Amino acid sequence: MMSLLDVLAERSGSVSLKELAQATSLHPSTAHRILNDMVIGRFVDRGEQAGSYRLGMRLLELGNLVKARLSVREAAIEPMRELHRRTGQTVNLSVRQGDEIVYIERSYSERSGMQVVRAIGGRAVLHLTSSGKLFLAYDDARVVRSYATRTGLAGHTRNSITDPVRLERELAQVRARGFARDNEELEPGVRCIAAAIRDDSGMIVAGLSLSAPSERMQDAWIEDLLETTARISKSLGHDGKPTPIASTK
C-alpha cells in the first residue's frame, strides 16, 4: 500500500494498473486488490481512463488535519511559555481525536508544585477534562447524547460527571462563561481551567488549559488564559466573532 502511494505521489496525473504493478514489483492482481481497498477508503480515486488511479481526497483531508495541528502548536508555544511565567502553573495544549483529547504540548516547571499526570501524547476522554468539555460544548445536542451513550460517561473520581443531564448543564455553563473547568474530575487533587483556540473559520482546533493543585487554583488566572487563547486564535486568523454550535462532528 505504501509503495503504491509513493508511486502515485511521484506522478502528476493518473497512473495505469500496469505501470503501478511494474513500479512496485507487485503482481497486477495484488496491486488491483490493494488499490480497490484504498478506493473504498478514499485514499485513492479512479482515474479518467479505465484501469487508472490517482491520489484520493482522503489524503488531502488528513494532510489538512496534520497541518492544522502543527500550525496551532507553532502558534501556541511561545504564548504558553508566557502564560506559565505569569501564573507559575502547568499549561497544556490539546487537540481532539474522536472521543478523546490528545496532549500535544506542555509548558511547566518544578515550581508549579504539581507532578505532570498526562505526558505529551497522552489521552483523556472529553467529559473528564476542561479542554474536552470545550469541544463537547459546541457539538450539537444529539452528538453529545451519542457520545454519552457510546462512552457510558465513565468516571475516574468521585467528582467525575457521569450523568448525561448533569453533563448537558455543565456544557451550557461552558458556553455561557466562555471557558471550562475540571474540578478534580480526572485526577484527585488537580483542578484545571481551559479556553478554546479557534482557527480562521471559527472552529475550535485546540484547547489551552491551566492545571494546578486544587488548593492553589485561582480565578484570577482566567483572564490571563482568555487573553492567551485570543492571541493564539488571532495568529491563526480568527476574527474574534462567536461561532454557532456545530450540527455535526
Angle at which helix 130-137 crosses helix 164-177, to 10 degrees, equals: 90
Query: What pLDDT is recorded for position 62?
Result: 82
Q: In the prediction, which pLDDT does 12 show?
A: 82
Contact 71, 236 (CB under 8 A): yes
What CA–CA distance (Å, rounded) separates 134 from 80?
18
DSSP 136-157: HHTS-HHHHHHHHHHHTT--SS
Cell 501556541 belongs to: 76
Whose cell is 511561545? That residue is 78
The confidence score (pLDDT) of residue 27 equals 96
Instruction: Assess contact for 109 and 98: CB atoms under 8 A.
Output: no
What is the rounded (10 degree) CA torsion for 213, 215, 221, 226?
60
Tell me the one-letter amino acid at 12: S
Q: In this predicted structure, what is the pLDDT of residue 239?
A: 82
Residue 34: what pLDDT? 96
Nearest C-alpha neighbor of 117 from the set 192, 167, 194 = 192
pLDDT score recorded for residue 248 = 37
Residues whose CB falls within 8 Å of the CB of residue 167, separated by 6 or more in sequence, listed in order = 127, 136, 144, 148, 153, 161
What span, in angstroms and rounded, lies between the C-alpha atoms of 173 and 179? 9
User: Can you say how many angstroms the Cα of residue 229 is from the centroid of all Cα atoms in its chain?
Assistant: 15
Residue 60: its pLDDT value, please?
Answer: 83
* Single pTM value for the model: 0.71
pLDDT in tens, the chain (249 residues): 999 999 999 988 899 999 999 999 999 999 999 999 999 999 999 988 899 999 998 888 887 777 666 689 999 999 999 999 999 999 999 999 999 999 999 998 756 555 555 678 899 999 999 999 999 999 999 999 999 999 999 999 999 999 999 999 999 999 999 999 999 999 999 999 999 999 888 899 999 999 999 999 999 999 999 999 999 999 988 887 765 554 333
Closest by CA to 183, choosing from 219, 214, 225, is 214
Residue among 159, 200, 204, 142 nearest 178 (CA): 204
